Amino acid sequence: MNTLYINKYNAFIRSYETPTEGQAIVYLPAISFSVIASFFDVVTHPKMPEHRAVLVDYLGSGFSDHPDDFDYSMDSHAECVAAVLDEAGHRETTVVGHSMGGTVAIKLALARPDLVSNLIVGEGNVTPGGGGLASQIVTHDETEFVNEEHPRMLAELHDKARDGDVIGVRRSNVWKHSSALGLYRNARALVNVEETLMNEFLTMPIPRTFIYGEKSVPSNAEEVGADTPFPNELHAHGVKTEIVPNAGHGQMFDNLDGFVDILARIAF
């Protein structure tokens, strides 16, 4: 585990880097998920070519600090990821971002094009609205969510996990170790993604791939969501698309082998 102090936020951000040589691939997880929970099984999968994996826990998540005075904006998360890459001396990396991680990855590529040469977005939010989870979280105000809704949500997830619900197990494992305030502010930032972000993503000069879960692909332009743009619009601007079979938004959780098959083909 690597630890970097970010003076601007008076907080330590933590990351992991495999000791292997070769191309660096940066992994950014979903909203308030630890990066190990999201990508350990991907990085260590026997079908993944050997590579230098850089896995980052956002501030507010995993083993990174959980500062209350951090704004948890997508730009600030991208700034912190950039600091990790700068400290390690990485340039022109492939960045893989799932869900919120895809949005952070886009922000990173926009702010620091020297750090990103290939962008892989797994249903990242590219338009305002935030998707189902984020939009549900922000129906509460911040204080209510932190003091009342978050404990209730964790208790409900605990019960679902106890009863064998897969999503309950996944979310209960990570969100009880994440900042409730960070989860709320992350959700608010996703709901309020700038209207211009989609166009900025579409016009980037680097290779871009958007990965859908098969169950998430919109069949027409009216079904698009904040994290599921219409494939034809992406294709028209040179963005490649891939589909993980038998998967929804969870992608690597729903079909690890299918996700790895795609990543091993497009990330190297």
Mean pLDDT by 10 residues, the chain (268 residues): 96 96 92 96 96 97 96 98 97 97 98 98 95 92 96 90 80 87 97 97 98 93 84 96 97 97 96
**Within a domain: 78:** yes
**Within a domain: 224:** yes
**Within a domain: 185:** no
Q: What is the pLDDT of residue 162?
A: 85
**Within a domain: 169:** no
Q: E strands of the chain, at which residues? A: 2-6, 11-17, 24-28, 52-56, 93-98, 116-122, 208-213, 240-244
Q: How many domains does the chain have?
A: 1
Q: What is the pLDDT of residue 132?
A: 82
Range of the domain at 56: 2-130+192-266
The length of the chain is: 268
- Tokens 């679902």 correspond to 160
58-81 per-position pLDDT tens digit: 999 999 999 999 999 999 999 999
Name the burial class of residue 161, with classes exposed (0-12), middle (13-18) and buried (19+) by CB atoms within 10 angstroms of its CB. Answer: middle
Residue 182 contacts residue 66 (beta carbons within 8 Å): yes
Can you give the CATH number for the domain in which 86 is found?
A: 3.40.50.1820
Q: What is the pLDDT of residue 115?
A: 98
23-58 per-position pLDDT tens digit: 799 999 999 999 999 999 999 999 999 999 999 999
**Within a domain: 176:** no
The contacts of residue 153 (CB under 8 Å, 6+ apart) are 175
